[in-house]
Amino acid sequence: MRIQRKGAAAVMMAVLLCLFAVSCLAVEYPCEGVANTKSVRMRKKASSSGDRIGELKEGETVTVLEEIVHKNGNVWYKVKTAKGKQGYVLSDYLSVPEVERIKAAENGEGARLMKLKVHAGCSDKNQVGHNWTQYYEWNGVKVKEGEMEAYAAPGAELSLYVRIREQDDKPDTTMDTLLHTPTADELVGGFELTQTIKVTENAGKYKGNTAIWKVTYTFSPAE
């Protein structure tokens, strides 16, 4: 069945509006960003080929001025350091707390301090790779060493971001975000969410092979 151009455009516009609404709820620029790994490179332009003009230390806070999305899906942030220096940082290496989600969770009726534990496993790497890194965020805040405590509230949507990357000269990477709105019962008794992440080999003899990871998020009351 073919979709008329006008109808397809309307559907696409609706999808974009929904994404825009979610983005506005989560992040509004300028905002705070935190370097989430060691030696984060600042560049003169929003490209890996841009000249290096500085470096951020892990945990260093900067002001995020705007977001630049490239056609290949890469996202860059224009940032300003505490000393006023401006440049661009690849979004992989900068955590941007989703302030509105965090406030809704902290101030919502029935809010509870919850403990999150993350576990990821891959039963068959399918020749995609052997060395992997995993990175997680809860409402835009880095989950360190697979554990974190933060507030959640009934009816306040939370976001869980994951990036799984195979390490080589041309790393295979998959990123995904899981959204969930907890209920009062879930916050009292705890709850579990799962994600299936597919990482596809992008080059070489095994190009096209897919490794399937299962990520489990376990929430339990921390109080």
Look at the chain and count its residues.
223
- Residue by residue, DSSP assigns 168-195 as SSS--EEEEEEEE---HHHHHH-EEEEE
The angle formed by the CA atoms of residues 83, 59 and 48, to the nearest 5 degrees, is: 75
Q: What is the mean pLDDT of residues 32-58?
A: 94
- Say yes or no to pLDDT of 213 above 80: yes
Q: Delineate the domains of the chain, giving CATH numbers in brackets.
A: 28-95 (2.30.30.40), 99-221 (2.60.40)
Q: Measured between alpha carbons, how far is 29 from 3 in angstroms, rounded to an integer?
A: 36
- Say yes or no to pLDDT of 95 above 80: yes
pLDDT number for residue 28: 82
- Say yes or no to pLDDT of 214 above 70: yes
**Considering the entire predicted model, what is its pTM?**
0.80
Sheet with strand 75-80: strands edge to edge: 52-56, 40-43, 86-90, 75-80, 61-69, 31-35, 94-95
Of the candidates 164, 197, 165, 199, the one whose C-alpha atom is nearest the C-alpha of residue 178 is: 197
pLDDT number for residue 15: 38
In single-letter form, the type of residue at position 222 comes to: A
Q: What is the mean pLDDT of residues 2-28?
A: 41
